[in-house]
């Protein structure tokens, strides 16, 4: 049985906790010397920042006798200190000293979750067998764009479901009101990476021209199930925006959905409206950023009623115009660790 066949079985459901990189916190949430408590992929963890500024994620409970680091614990220099007996642990989870000045037991070691901090976001790697990261996120940072504004929701859904929107061509019209969605570059799958480019039309409400339709090109760079970067280019106006989609599982069906929006620095305001030529480009960029972010929050929220109330059908009754749903699902199955184990065991038995 292959992965493709396995996801067609009627009893298949998406993994509660898919593997990969996920946004566990914003950098500004984790200040030096502070400890943040979170539930991530069904596990209680603590996030802290050392005196040197390094961010780390450890299991929440001290391996000595089980106290929770975030409830009375502290950060001292480069270590986190347990509130119960004063045992200290570095960012690798190694016990650097006991509260008695004695030699730590070799068993006094906490799991140090792989962390990658970039773009003002702390990403954490999840794998149920604690296997090291097999890929890394490319945030495509550029001086030509503003910093990202970030918005966070707590909701009921799953990263496999929310990421499926990247290939669900039909929903662009029926949920978001775009016209004539069409493929520019076909779906490309490369290991944990997915890339596709669409064109579609939207009326000019967002710049006060509701009677005119503008062609917008969207290129999606999906990297695992926990991070997607979407670049939108309204060619006629010379406006580019970048959008982040970052779902992170908490426990059960609960997850955080963080979205981000950045705007390409405006070079020719006159293409948007002739009157804007008299204003500073930096001001126009700031206004466009504010309005684009507001619009992006609105667009993503339009999906919520569907996401939070739908079921995962296997197989779905697809029709022409849906987009490459099954190619996506076969790709997404690589992040279902338990399914991969079953498939590999079946192959070995045969």
3-state secondary structure 263-330: EECCCCHHHCCHHHHHCCHHHHHHHHHHHHHHHHHHHHHCCHHHHCCCCCCCCCCCCCCCCCHHHHHH
Residue 69: pLDDT above 70?
A: yes
Q: Cα separation of 109 and 64, whole Å?
A: 8
Instruction: Provide, rounded to the nearest whole percent, the portion of the chain with pLDDT above 90.
Output: 84
Confidence of residue 208 (pLDDT cuts 50, 70, 90): low
Q: Cα separation of 102 and 21, whole Å?
A: 37
Confidence of residue 207 (pLDDT cuts 50, 70, 90): low
Q: Give the pLDDT score at 210.
A: 61
Q: Cα separation of 83 and 34, whole Å?
A: 14
The 3 state secondary structure assigned to 189-212 is: EECCEEEEEEEEEEEEHHHCEEEE
Helix (H, G, I), strand (E, B) or coil at 111: coil
Please give the average per-residue pLDDT across 244-252, as a whole number: 97
Q: CATH number of the domain at 149-328, please? A: 3.90.380.10
- Record the tokens describing residue 1, joined without a space: 């049985």
Residue 109: pLDDT above 90?
A: yes
Under 8 Å between Cβ of 261 and 230:
no
Sheet strands side by side (includes 74-76)? 74-76, 79-81, 88-89, 95-97
CA-based radius of gyration for the chain:
23
Residue that is written with structure tokens 């570059």 in the block: 185
Q: How far apart, in Å, do the first and last CA atoms of the chain sit?
A: 9
Domain limits of the chain? 20-126, 149-328
Confidence of residue 131 (pLDDT cuts 50, 70, 90): very high
Reply yes or no on domain 20-126 having CATH 2.102.10.10. Answer: yes
Confidence of residue 3 (pLDDT cuts 50, 70, 90): confident
Confidence of residue 229 (pLDDT cuts 50, 70, 90): very high
- The torsion angles phi and psi of 169, rounded to 5 degrees, stand at -60, -40
Same-fold call for 20-126 versus 149-328: no
Residue 201: pLDDT above 90?
A: yes
- Record the tokens describing residue 39, joined without a space: 């539930």
Residue 202: pLDDT above 90?
A: no
Q: Give the pLDDT score at 278.
A: 73
Assess whether the previous peptide bond of 211 is cis (omega < 30° from 0).
no
Residue that is written with structure tokens 């993503």 in the block: 300
The model's pTM: 0.94
pLDDT per position as a tens digit, 270-307: 777 767 777 788 998 999 999 999 999 999 999 999 99
Q: What is the helix, strand, coil percentage profile of the chain, to 5?
A: 25, 35, 40
Residue that is written with structure tokens 């010397």 in the block: 33
Please give the average per-residue pLDDT across 87-108, as a whole number: 96
Confidence of residue 232 (pLDDT cuts 50, 70, 90): very high
Largest CA-CA distance found in the chain, in angstroms, rounded: 76
Q: Give the pLDDT score at 349.
A: 54
Confidence of residue 23 (pLDDT cuts 50, 70, 90): very high
Residue 347: pLDDT above 80?
A: no
Please give the average per-residue pLDDT across 9-31, as a whole number: 95
- Record the tokens describing residue 109, joined without a space: 């070691």
């Amino acid at each position: 049985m292959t992965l493709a066949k396995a996801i067609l079985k009627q009893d298949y459901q998406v993994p509660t906790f898919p593997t990969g990189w996920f946004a566990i916190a914003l950098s500004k949430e984790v200040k030096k010397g502070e400890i943040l408590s979170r539930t991530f992929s069904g596990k209680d963890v603590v996030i802290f920042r050392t005196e040197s500024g390094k961010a780390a994620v450890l299991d929440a409970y001290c391996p000595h006798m089980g106290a929770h680091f975030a409830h009375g614990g502290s950060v001292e220099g480069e270590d986190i200190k347990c509130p119960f007996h004063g045992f200290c642990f570095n960012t690798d989870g190694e016990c650097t000293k006991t509260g008695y000045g004695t030699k730590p037991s070799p068993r006094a070691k906490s799991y140090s979750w792989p962390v990658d901090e970039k773009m003002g976001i702390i990403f954490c790697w999840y794998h149920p067998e604690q296997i090291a990261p097999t890929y890394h996120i490319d945030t495509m940072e550029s001086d030509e764009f503003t910093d990202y504004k970030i918005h966070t929701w707590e909701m009921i859904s799953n990263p496999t479901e929310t990421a499926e929107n990247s290939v669900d061509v039909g929903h662009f019209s029926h949920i978001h009101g775009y016209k004539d969605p069409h493929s520019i570059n076909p779906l490309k799958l490369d290991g944990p990476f997915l890339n596709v480019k669409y064109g579609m039309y939207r009326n000019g409400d967002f710049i006060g021209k509701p009677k005119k339709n503008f062609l917008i090109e969207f290129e999606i760079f999906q990297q695992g199930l926990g991070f997607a970067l979407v670049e939108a280019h309204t060619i006629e106006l010379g406006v580019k925006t970048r959008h982040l989609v970052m779902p992170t599982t908490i426990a059960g069906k609960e997850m955080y959905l963080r979205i981000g929006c950045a705007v390409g620095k405006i070079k020719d305001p006159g293409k948007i409206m002739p009157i804007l030529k008299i204003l500073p480009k930096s001001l126009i960029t700031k206004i466009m950023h504010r309005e684009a972010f507001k619009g992006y929050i609105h667009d993503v929220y339009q999906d919520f009623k569907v996401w939070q109330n739908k079921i995962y059908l296997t197989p779905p009754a697809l029709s022409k115009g849906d987009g490459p749903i099954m190619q996506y699902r076969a790709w997404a199955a690589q992040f279902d660790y338990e399914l991969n184990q079953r498939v590999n065991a079946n192959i070995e038995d045969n």
